[in-house]
Amino acid sequence: MLEKMEILDVDKVIEEFEAMTNDAENVQKQTLKKILEENGCAEYLQNLGLNGRTDPESFKACVPLVNHSDLEPYIQKIVDGPPSPILTGTPLTTISLSSGTTQGKPKFVPFNDELMETTLQIYRTSYAFRNREYPIKNGKALQFIYSSRQSKTKGGLIAGTATTNVFRNSQFKNAMKSMQSQCCSPDEVIFGPDFHQSLYCHLLCGLLFREEIQLVSSTFAHSLVHAFRTFEEVWEELCADIREGALSSRITFPSVRAAMAKSLKPNPQLADLIHAKCSALSNWYGLIPELFPNVKYIYGIMTGSMEPYLKKLRHYAGDVPLVTADYGSSEGWVGANINPNLPPEAATYAVLPHIGYFEFIPLNGDVLEPEPVGLTEVKVGEEYEIIVTNVAGLYRYRLGDVVKVMGFHNKTPELKFVCRRNLMLTINIDKNTEKDLQLAVEEAAKLIAGEKLEVVDFSSHVDVSTDPGHYVIFWEINGEVRDEVLQECCNTLDRAFVDAGYVSSRKVNSIAPLELRVVWRGTFQKILDHYLGLGAALSQFKTPRCVGPTNNKVLQILCGNVAKSYFSTAF
Q: What is the DSSP string of 70-89?
A: HHHHHHHHHHHS----SSSS
* Domain assignment present for 104: yes
Q: Give the C-alpha distances (Å, rounded to integers) separating 260 from 35, 121, 185.
A: 45, 32, 9
CA distance 363 to 370: 8
Backbone angles phi, psi at 358, to 5 degrees: -115, 140
One domain, residues 80 and 145: no
Q: Which of 515, 510, 524 is nearest to 461 (CA)?
A: 515
Sign of CA dihedral 470, 107, 89, 119: positive
One domain, residues 65 and 181: no
Q: What is the pLDDT of residue 1?
A: 33
Q: How many other C-beta atoms can be found within 10 angstroms of the C-beta atom of residue 79?
A: 18
CA distance 297 to 320: 6
pLDDT in tens, 320-333: 999 999 998 878 88
CA distance 196 to 525: 12
Q: Which of 184, 182, 175 is nearest to 128 (CA)?
A: 175
* Domain assignment present for 281: yes
One domain, residues 27 and 145: no
One domain, residues 294 and 150: yes
For residue 104, the enclosing domain spans 21-111
One domain, residues 97 and 34: yes
* Domain assignment present for 420: no
DSSP H helical segments within 88-213, as ranges?
113-133, 162-167, 170-178, 187-190, 195-208
pLDDT in tens, 491-531: 999 999 988 878 888 888 888 999 999 999 999 999 988 88
* Domain assignment present for 346: no
Q: What is the pLDDT of residue 246?
A: 92
Confidence of residue 490 (pLDDT cuts 50, 70, 90): very high
One domain, residues 62 and 177: no
Are 224 and 216 in contact, with CB atoms under 8 Å apart? yes
One domain, residues 150 and 42: no
Single residue among 293, 320, 347 that ends a domain in this structure: 320
One domain, residues 90 and 145: no
| 185 pLDDT higher than 80 | yes
DSSP H helical segments within 419-514, as ranges?
434-449, 483-496, 500-507
* Domain assignment present for 403: no
Confidence of residue 176 (pLDDT cuts 50, 70, 90): low
One domain, residues 92 and 210: no
Number of domains in the chain: 3
- β-pair partners for 419: 402
One domain, residues 145 and 100: no
Q: What is the pLDDT of residue 435?
A: 82
pLDDT above 90 coverage of the chain, percent: 56
Q: What is the pLDDT of residue 192?
A: 83
pLDDT in tens, 61-84: 999 999 988 999 999 998 888 888
* Domain assignment present for 377: no
Single residue among 286, 320, 354 that ends a domain in this structure: 320
One domain, residues 105 and 145: no
Single residue among 289, 320, 351 that ends a domain in this structure: 320
DSSP H helical segments within 23-112, as ranges?
24-39, 43-46, 56-62, 68-80
* Domain assignment present for 452: yes
pLDDT in tens, 381-423: 999 999 999 989 999 999 888 899 999 999 999 999 887 776 6
* Domain assignment present for 454: yes
One domain, residues 85 and 199: no
